[in-house]
Amino acid sequence: MLERHHLAIIHAVDKHGTLTEAANALHLTQSALSHGIKKLEVHLGAPVWRKDGRRLRLTQAGQGLLNLANRVLPQFEHSEQVIQQIAQGLRGALRIGMECHPCYQWLLKVVSPFLQQFPDVDVDVRQAFQFGGLGALLGYDIDMLITPDPLFQKGLEYLPVFEYEHVLVVPRSHFVAEKAFVQPQDLRHDVLITYPVESSRLDVFSQFLTPAGASVKRHRTIETTEIMLQMVSAGRGVAALPKWLVEQHQKDLAIVPVRLGKRGIFKNIHLGFRAGETRPEYQNAFIEMAKQTDHLM
């Protein structure tokens, strides 16, 4: 079969003028190239060169092969380079799954320096999964899962990277704004605003209201963090969010963070991976950068 190797020979002879020099360039003997092309000629049924004095001149068939070589060899080389980069972890795609809405704000702070350091790595963030975050991870739809609630399971491993307090956000005028912490019963006359996910996945319910048998006046959902805070600031309800997120908006909005219960609710953002896999270098770098975001918040 006509191989890349044959094209490399034809290209080298065209470039260096003689078989002998081409052989040197390819770290082979003149004989090797001569035998190699002879075999190709038998296979093709057409000569590649004709002797002109002591040089070789391409025949029509040979010219065709040289054209092919010029088109195709650079593509081989480029692909090999790209794969080398993939192998070294300098290039690739980092597909990140998110299971926590407010984590998005945190993720942005990790991603932007990461993209600068690894210009050839694509970051792809996904939020909706057919079989849940774990399924996506195990099914190779994503390579990394960002979640505050690690669900330990065979084949997965987690790494905590960022600890924060989950607090209630209230308008500055709210009666709990001055208190050291809020109690479940305090919210009985409030509208609670959350992201649109099942209540079981919301810590305000699972760790605060439900255990105390308390409830709110009304529960409504909003997609985006910014609107949610605007609503709270306007006195239209209260919400539960990471403390650092609230603090970032306190100078612009009339909002106050209040501890949830006497002891507060503390969470940890975890990164989840498939266990026992050799991770590309850039993925390790991402993890390192993620660990260091504490200082930024």
Partner DNA sequence: CATATTACATGAATTTTACTCATAGGTTTA
Partner DNA sequence: TAAACCTATGAGTAAAATTCATGTAATATG
Give contact residues for a copy of itself (rule: CB under 8 A): 1-5, 8, 44-46, 50, 52, 57, 60-61, 64-65, 67-68, 71-72, 75-76, 79-80, 82-84, 86-88, 92-93, 140
**Minimum distance between the CB of residue 45 and DNA, rounded to whole angstroms?**
15
Q: Which alpha helices (H) appear in the chain, and where do they start and end?
A: 4-16, 19-25, 30-44, 60-87, 103-117, 132-138, 203, 225-233, 243-249, 281-291
From the list 18-26, 59-67, 163-171, 289-297, the region that binds DNA by CB under 7 A is 18-26
Answer for the pair 139, 145: CB distance below 8 angstroms, yes or no. Answer: no
Task: Let me know: does 242 contact 148? Beta carbons within 8 Å.
Answer: no
Angstrom CA distances, 75 to 27, 70, 78, 208, 261, stand at 22, 9, 5, 60, 63
173 binds, among a copy of itself, DNA, none (CB under 5 to 8 A by kind): none
Task: Give least dist CB 50 to a copy of itself, A.
Answer: 8
Alpha-carbon span 185 to 181, nearest angstrom: 12
Q: Which residues does residue 92 pair with via DSSP β-bridges, in sequence order?
A: 121
- Pick one of a copy of itself, DNA, none as the site partner of residue 49 (Cβ within 5 to 8 A by kind): DNA
Residue 207 contacts DNA per CB under 7 A: no
- Residues 43-72 interacting with DNA (rule: CB under 7 A): 49, 51, 53-56
Q: How many CA atoms lie within 13 A of 202 on its CB side?
A: 20
Q: Is 32 or 46 the residue whose CB approaches a copy of itself more closely? A: 46
- Chain residues binding DNA by CB under 7 A are 5, 13, 18-21, 23, 27-32, 34-39, 49, 51, 53-56
